[in-house]
Amino acid sequence: MATAEATIQSGTTAGSKTGLWSWITTVDHKRIGIMYAVTALVWFLVGGLEALLIRIQLAKPENDFLSADVYNQIFTMHGTTMIFLVGMPIAVALFNYIVPLQIGARDVAFPRLNALSYWIYLFGGIFMNVSFLLGAAPNMGWFGYTPLTTEMYSPGLNADFWSVGLQILGIASIMGGVNFITTIINLRAPGMTLMRMPLFTWMALVQSFLVITALPVFAVALFFLSFDRFYGTTFYNTMAGGDPFLWQHLFWIFGHPEVYILILPAFGIISDVLPSFTRKPLFGYNMVVYSGVLIGFIGWGVWAHHMFATGMGPIADSFFSIATLIIAIPTGVKIFNWLATMWGGTIRFNTPMLFCIALVAMFTIGGISGVHHGSPPADLHQTDTYYVVAHFHYVLFGGLIMGLFAGFYYWFPKVTGRMLDEKLGKWNFWLFVIGSNMTFFPMHFAGLLGMPRRIFTYAEELNLATINQIITVGGFLTGVGVLVFAWNVIRSLKKGEIAGNNPWGSHTLEWATTSPPPEYNFAELPEIRTREPLWDGISSVDVTGPPKAPIHMPSPSFWPILTAASINLALILMMTEKWWPPVLGVALVLLCVINWAYEPASEH
Amino acid sequence: MSSEWRKALRTLALAALAAVWVGCAPENYPQSIFDPVTDFGAEINGLFAWIFWLTMLVLVIVECALVYILIRYRNRPGAEPRKIYGNNLAEIGWTLGPAIIVVLIIVPTVRTIFSTYEPPEGEPLVVEAIGHQWWWEFRYPELGLTTANQLHLPVGRPVEVRLTSVDVIHNFWVPQLGGKRYNMPQPAKAPGEAEGKKYNVLYFTVERPGEYYGQCAEFCGTSHAIMRMMVVAQQQADFDAWVAKMKDGSRNVPAGVPAPGAQPVAQTQPASLEAEGYQVFMRAGCAACHAINGTPAMGVLGPNLTGIGSRWSIGAGLMDNTPENMARWIRNAPGLKPDAKMLTFPNLSDAEVEALVAYLYSLD
């Protein structure tokens, strides 16, 4: 303990210990956040590459660049990767790094559980993509509708990888959600009331509640599917009386909250970034918080709007239509509040701000086409066409990705101590804006002119070639933007301008400590009196100086990675289609958990 | 932004709008939603247009406000903005505004929802559209007629399309006829379970003769992209003539073929290539999956081939209906259309395939 104290007092840089082993056993929320971010960005490149393959295939009618089956694998994995391996984990990466800093905590509530989530996520992602090496990647679409996904119509390993892989990833997400809720509820600095929390932390809280309530539904749906496939149950078997609607309802009860799971973190980011770059507090903080919470709640009552073409009957169609359109109101409120935050400010066009502006401009388009889908008769045309593809890419690229990139450029200095290059950042921004609009805007027309989703080819006489060529060029421009970003990160890690504690003149607590923060985050916990502590002057305690008393930090542990490996193994062993291998796997998990529980708490 | 830039942008925007306007002309896009030929299509397009323009109003307001704010409040070094935390009146305003627009959308939406589920007045022509991986079966129970991939409909009479599937979920979409609904597989009934309505329906009346493309819109496996169909809308008299032709089974047995049940006469050279093809058809096992009206072929697994000679394509929109393509298709269908369920016939001789094609083309 003496040596540990010594290390902490000797320096303020994070990770006084280095080397591979220290990363494998780390329980530091900042290091886990970095690992999450790096992993998710690698998957982002993979998912982007898949998108470009899709675009090459569709660049001309009746193309044979990819075979039908390979194309189906690629589009399925593009969706699955971008949602489960990129969208959710990048948000988790930022939660991990930023939320404890924003609320003045030393770490998350359950540091080892946090490490466990990460390792499960890493192994699960690798497992799913290993399927490509066997030529058997999932090929049934990311929403895996039964009965297409049952043994009878998908006899190969493809759907096995999908159902088991997503089961694994879901476990990681649920654990993360529990961890963040506990952290945000229990570990706030003195004086940090709920209504003084930064918006990003607020949205992390709402999002985590959605995660722990929505993901278990999906887990059940996936277990039904896995049991049908491996053990001959008949939950989804229409021949045995299974109802084809069962999967759709279970899936979308998870799947629609999932949309808000993806987008709320971006709403949180923009709500923190806008004040920093306009030098004005967030306009209507309460309204923005409440509308976020409201979106979370109503988000539970709209799932069947994904099913307007399934013939649910006029009563159900009307109910879900009304619920869906009502959700446009709190969403609109947020957009108007962001505009009002900018109104009267002094707007600085740094890269994080530019991405936020793109978010407002593009998410609005996605929201508007969402309203079009919300009307079932109109949706009878739009659903299952490229109009929907355009809609959710405006929401997820225009909303989520733009928001996350705002977050990267905004918090990169805090994480690394160096600024990302502004000039490259602007190249990144313009390539993204031009490329993504060129990709996703024409998709509205493609859909209305008769192009269904998920087709590996289209007939020449449908005259859709020109539109698809424009889309393909746009896709590649966006891809160049990603390369510029990657180069910017690599270059700035070495040569970036030194950031200092608060390079943007921001208002929230994470900017009070050093960049990067020490392992213990704050030498002394400050007392919070307002929503913008750094603008209003935090209490006199010295948050960056050497700690005055020894700080108890959790010790590193290798049990999280072992437990993660055994949880993965237990689920993967279901693919043997015998009952005892997964039981053995569960025994292994229990063994790990017991060792974990009895691990001596050698505090330092 | 300099004024030249702004001018250039404005020109570009106008040019883009014009290009879109011209480019979207329905006659260029045979699968477009913009040229509905049914009451159903016109009704939902009308609703869509109303919602579209209402929401465009919101879009323009938001985007213009954004641009104005960015220009008006850009880079003002030294200016210290007032710390405004909110304004109840404004916030109530921009909650109520969208709420009013939402009401303006909901009212006609709900009305249209109910009207699209409403059966039409008068006796509709019932058509069963049955999805198969990856082709369409169309049955007319009232006419005792079955066809595939090419759906003939009369103009002016209400139609009720009953949507089902024999395997996975499909989605019947012919944009010019109106919206789409799912073809759901039918759950097996428990013993004694009452017969209920287990299928989706689309109601419409076609108002203009013509040929309209459609295709499956719900991902249904490997060749989902090649599950297309054509709707041929005809005046009632033309439709009746087509029905009469389809029902006349005697047309499908070429001259020179011994009548079913007749004593086999001494083996002589068949009278024609078509008659030879007929015999190849029966001999090679085609009839296990395919049916042809008026012949012993009564298979139900594959498309009914009555009238195959006059269909617009082979393989549910895969390729043009030509003798060469037909021959390729017979030899190796899955090689042309990934995972197609049709068997391959590598052992048929060239002469046999030629005769078979000739016979199939006589089925017009």
**CATH code, domain carrying B332:** 2.60.40.420
- The residue of chain A with its CA nearest to that of B117 is A314
pLDDT of B50 higher than 80? yes
Give domain status of residue B350, yes or no: yes
Which residues are paired to A138 by β-bridges? none
A67 has a chain B CB within 8 A of its CB = yes
B68 has a chain A CB within 8 A of its CB = no
Which residues are paired to B138 by β-bridges? B129, B147
d(CA A498, CA A417): 6
Q: Determine the pLDDT at residue A243.
A: 84
Q: What is the pLDDT of residues A272-287, one digit of tens each?
A: 999 999 999 999 999 9
> Could you say which DSSP state residue B257 is in?
S
State whether A344 and B82 contact (CB < 8 Å): yes
* Mean pLDDT computed over B76-91: 84
CA distance B68 to chain A (A): 9
Asked which of A307-311, A579-583, B187-191, B291-295 is least confident by mean pLDDT, the reply is B187-191
A310 has a chain B CB within 8 A of its CB = yes
In sequence order, the 6+-apart residues with CB closer than 8 A to the CB of B41 are B33, B175, B176, B177, B178, B179, B204
- The residue of chain B with its CA nearest to that of A370 is B55
B55 has a chain A CB within 8 A of its CB = yes
Q: Determine the pLDDT at residue A239.
A: 83
Q: Determine the pLDDT at residue B85.
A: 86
B226, B253: one domain? no
Looking at chain A, the whole-number percentage of residues with pLDDT higher than 70 is 96
**Structural domain boundaries, residue B287:** 249-257+268-362
Q: Determine the pLDDT at residue A166.
A: 97
The pTM score is 0.93
d(CA A177, CA B355): 68
* Mean pLDDT computed over A27-35: 95
User: Which residues of A are less than 8 Å from B219 in CB distance?
Assistant: 72, 140-141, 145, 148, 453-454
> What mean pLDDT, rounded, does chain B reach?
90
* Mean pLDDT computed over A371-399: 96
Q: Which of A348, A385, A461 is opposite residue B75, by nearest beta carbon?
A: A348
Q: Determine the pLDDT at residue B271.
A: 74
Q: Determine the pLDDT at residue A10.
A: 35
- Per-residue pLDDT band for A16 (boundaries 50, 70, 90) equals low
- Per-residue pLDDT band for A42 (boundaries 50, 70, 90) equals very high
DSSP annotation string for B276-320 = HHHHHHHHHTGGGT-B-TTSS-B--SS---TTGGGSSEETTTTEE
pLDDT of B26 higher than 70? no
State whether B106 and A452 contact (CB < 8 Å): no
* Mean pLDDT computed over B99-124: 94
Give domain status of residue B159, yes or no: yes
B130, B239: one domain? yes
Q: What is the pLDDT of residues A134-185, one digit of tens each?
A: 999 999 999 999 999 999 999 999 999 999 999 999 999 999 999 999 999 9
B225, B138: one domain? yes
In sequence order, the 6+-apart residues with CB closer than 8 A to the CB of A223 are A167
CA distance A485 to chain B (A): 25
Give domain status of residue B106, yes or no: no
* Mean pLDDT computed over A433-458: 96
Domain ranges, ordered by start, for chain A: 25-597
A243 has a chain B CB within 8 A of its CB = yes
Token duo for residue B52: 């579209």
Q: Which of B99, B175, B181 is opposite residue A309, by nearest beta carbon?
A: B181
Q: Which amino acid is at A289?
A: V
Residues B123 and B207: beta-carbon distance below 8 Å: no
Q: Looking at chain A from residue 113 to 152, which residues have their Cβ under 8 Å from any Cβ of chain B?
A: 139-141, 145, 147-148
CA distances from A143 to A76, A122, A258, A306, A461 (A): 9, 22, 12, 11, 30
pLDDT of B263 higher than 60? no
Q: Determine the pLDDT at residue A124.
A: 97
Q: Count CB pairs under 8 A between chains A and B.
A: 282
A242 has a chain B CB within 8 A of its CB = yes
* Mean pLDDT computed over A91-95: 95
> Shortest CA distance to A576 belongs to which of A231, A146, A135, A236?
A231
* Other CB atoms within 10 Å distance of the CB of residue B115: 16
B82 has a chain A CB within 8 A of its CB = yes
pLDDT of A470 higher than 90? yes
Give domain status of residue B304, yes or no: yes
In this structure, what are the phi and psi dihedrals at residue B259, rounded to the nearest 5 degrees? -65, 150
Looking at chain A, the whole-number percentage of residues with pLDDT higher than 90 is 86
Q: Which residue do the tokens 């013939």 mark?
A: A311
Give domain status of residue B90, yes or no: no
State whether B30 and A462 contact (CB < 8 Å): yes
* Other CB atoms within 10 Å distance of the CB of residue B71: 10
> What mean pLDDT, rounded, does chain A reach?
92
Fold of A25-597: Cytochrome C Oxidase; Chain A (1.20.210)
> Shortest CA distance to A560 belongs to which of A585, A590, A592?
A592
Q: Determine the pLDDT at residue A118.
A: 97
State whether B73 and A346 contact (CB < 8 Å): yes
* Structural domains of chain B, count: 2
B238, B133: one domain? yes
Give domain status of residue B317, yes or no: yes
B29 has a chain A CB within 8 A of its CB = yes
* Mean pLDDT computed over A305-332: 94
Bigger pLDDT: A378 or A601? A378
Give domain status of residue B67, yes or no: no
Q: Which of A278, A280, A284 is opposite residue B91, by nearest beta carbon?
A: A284
Residues A251 and A143: beta-carbon distance below 8 Å: yes
B183, B275: one domain? no
In sequence order, the 6+-apart residues with CB closer than 8 A to the CB of A384 are A309, A452, A453, B171, B173, B180, B217, B218
- The residue of chain B with its CA nearest to that of A366 is B59
Q: Determine the pLDDT at residue B128.
A: 96
pLDDT of A14 higher than 60? no
d(CA A429, CA A482): 10
In this structure, what are the phi and psi dihedrals at residue A369, rounded to the nearest 5 degrees? -70, -25
Q: What is the pLDDT of residues A551-591, one digit of tens each?
A: 778 888 999 999 999 999 999 999 999 999 999 999 999 99
Q: Determine the pLDDT at residue B352.
A: 94
Q: Determine the pLDDT at residue A406.
A: 97
pLDDT of A543 higher than 80? no
Q: At what angle do helices A88-103 and A402-416 cross, to 10 degrees?
A: 50
Give domain status of residue B104, yes or no: no
- The residue of chain B with its CA nearest to that of A236 is B187
- Per-residue pLDDT band for A1 (boundaries 50, 70, 90) equals very low
H helix intervals, chain B? 3-23, 39-72, 88-117, 236-247, 273-284, 323-331, 333-336, 350-362
B351, B275: one domain? yes
State whether A329 and B175 contact (CB < 8 Å): no
Q: Give the DSSP H or E segment for B200.
A: strand B200-205
